[in-house]
Amino acid sequence: MSNNQSKIALVTGGSRGLGKDSALQLAKKGFDLIITYQTKKEAADEVVKEIENIGQKAYALPLDISSTAGFDQFVTEVKHILDTQFASGKLDALVNNAGIGINQSFETTTEETLDAMTNIHFKGPYFLTQKLLPLLNDGSSVVNTSSGLARFSFAGYSAYGAMKAAIDSLSRYQALELGSRKIRVNSIAPGAIETDFGGGAVRDSKEYNQLVSSQTALGRVGLPDDIGSVVAFLCSDDSKWINAQRIEVAGGFRI
């Protein structure tokens, strides 16, 4: 049975991949969840059911992280769920996870592509977090999703990798300015993980999978459940003294 004392986490992009695993691991740690999806409502509803089967409450809301125009409405919907379904009325954790990958050379990257990467991976999380500040409890935890590609370079990821580097920097600034409210902010930097990301290349391309495995100390690519438990740890009091850190979760890729 869920209990009203549970902490509440909001995970963007919780319908699939790393966000789904993070939501499930948070539920296993006793969090109730609000997850978001962009288009795959059915997948999100399945995740809600899985969380309920773990014994926690869960709700799914649509969100387009690339468009700040919808954020006020989204925050109103989050507030409504918090006010009507939860006793505490505030969030204890925010996981900025939603995103897509593209592989395009620097030479051919268009202004539209760069704008899309900026909106999805930087501007969206920036202003969503800002707008959610009144709904975050003092002492809560924010986890931003970076990427190994912010540390090392892989041809075709100049726009994506640069935005993830920006998220690492933003996380430190947020940690500095939100510390007065005891809000911790960290970024998690997954390596290449077998999800639908980037057309599922890490999972579906044997060549790419082997290339990444051969450059990883632990000799394989990542799986979603390599990541969610770390996100859940960063959202919990188990990590209460970890703040303003970039934590790479990549099995030792290109070290």
Ligand X SMILES: NC(=O)c1ccc[n+]([C@@H]2O[C@H](COP(=O)([O-])OP(=O)(O)OC[C@H]3O[C@@H](n4cnc5c(N)ncnc54)[C@H](OP(=O)(O)O)[C@@H]3O)[C@@H](O)[C@H]2O)c1
Is residue 156 involved in binding ligand X (CB under 6 A)?
Answer: no
State which residue, 99 or 156, has the beta carbon closest to ligand X. 99
State which residue, 75 or 137, has the beta carbon closest to ligand X. 75
CB of 203 to ligand X, least distance (A): 9
Cβ pair 30, 93 in contact under 8 A: no
Distance between CA 93 and CA 95 in Å, rounded? 7
Segment 201 to 240, residues that bind ligand X, using CB under 6 A: 202
Active site residues: 146-147, 160, 164
**Looking at 195, 216, 236, 239, which residue binds ligand X (CB under 6 A)?**
195
Contacts of 136 (CB under 8 A, 6+ apart): 90, 91, 92, 94, 142, 181, 183
CA neighbor of 33 nearest in space, from 41, 13, 17: 13
CB of 130 to ligand X, least distance (A): 17
Number of residues that bind ligand X (CB under 6 A): 30
Which helix (H) or strand (E) is 162 found in, with range? Answer: helix 158-178
For 122, the token pair is 């930087």
CA neighbor of 244 nearest in space, from 141, 137, 111, 116: 141
Chain residue at closest Cβ approach to ligand X: 17
State which residue, 8 or 128, has the beta carbon closest to ligand X. 128
Segment 92 to 151, residues that bind ligand X, using CB under 6 A: 97-101, 120, 145, 147
Distance between CA 243 and CA 222 in Å, rounded? 24
**Looking at 29, 32, 37, 71, which residue binds ligand X (CB under 6 A)?**
37
In the complex, which residues of this chain contact ligand X (CB under 6 A)? 13, 15-19, 37-40, 43, 63-66, 97-101, 120, 145, 147, 190, 192-193, 195-197, 202
